[in-house]
Amino acid sequence: MGRLYVHEIDDLIDEELTKAEKAEKACTIGALALDLYTHPFFLKNMAVLRSHMLLNTNNYLDSVNCENEPGWKAPFSDWARHGWVDLVLVVAEICGGYANMRNESMELRTMSYMSHHDGEKAI
C-alpha cells in the first residue's frame, strides 16, 4: 500500500495528464493516504513511522527540486528518490529487529537502484 501511495504521487508529478486524469489520481492518492495512515500497523507504530514518513516526504520534494540542477544537487536528487527504502527498513526493524533490517538492506537498495536506472542512466 505504501509503495503504491508514493508511486502515485510521483506519477502525478511526472506524467502529463488531463485535468480529469489529475483529479482521478489526486483522489486515488487521498484514498491511499487514508488507508495507509489508518492501517492498524501504522497506528500501532505511529510514534516511529510518522517522523520517517515526514522525512521521506521532505526528501522526495527536495529530490524533485534538485533533479535538473548543477553541482551536488543532481546526484543528491538521484539518492533522495530512494527514500522509501529507509522507511521499509524501519518497518523491517520494527518487525524483526536490527538483524532483519540488515538482512533486507542491500537487496532493497539494489532493487531501488535498478528500478530507477537503465544501466548507468537515471530514468
State whether 55 and 100 are in the same domain. Answer: yes
State whether 34 and 51 are in the same domain. Answer: no
Is it the case that residue 65 has pLDDT exceeding 90? yes
State whether 54 and 114 are in the same domain. Answer: yes
Q: For the ranges 2-6, 14-18, 74-78, 86-90, which has the lowest average pLDDT? A: 2-6
Q: Return the DSSP state at 38.
A: T
Residue 19 CA to residue 83 CA, distance in Å, equals 29
Residue range of the domain that includes 88: 46-123
Where does the pLDDT of residue 23 fall: very low under 50, low under 70, confident under 90, or very high at 90 and above?
very high
The string over 88-98, giving b where at least 16 C-beta atoms fall within 10 Å of a residue's C-beta and e elsewhere, is bbbbbbeeeee
Instruction: Name the residue type at position 54.
Output: L
Residue 6: all three cell numbers together: 508514493
State whether 34 and 69 are in the same domain. Answer: no
State whether 56 and 28 are in the same domain. Answer: no
Contact of 51 with 23, CB cutoff 8 Å: no
| pLDDT attached to residue 3 | 81
State whether 104 and 76 are in the same domain. Answer: yes
pTM of the entire predicted model? 0.82
Number of independent structural domains in the chain: 2
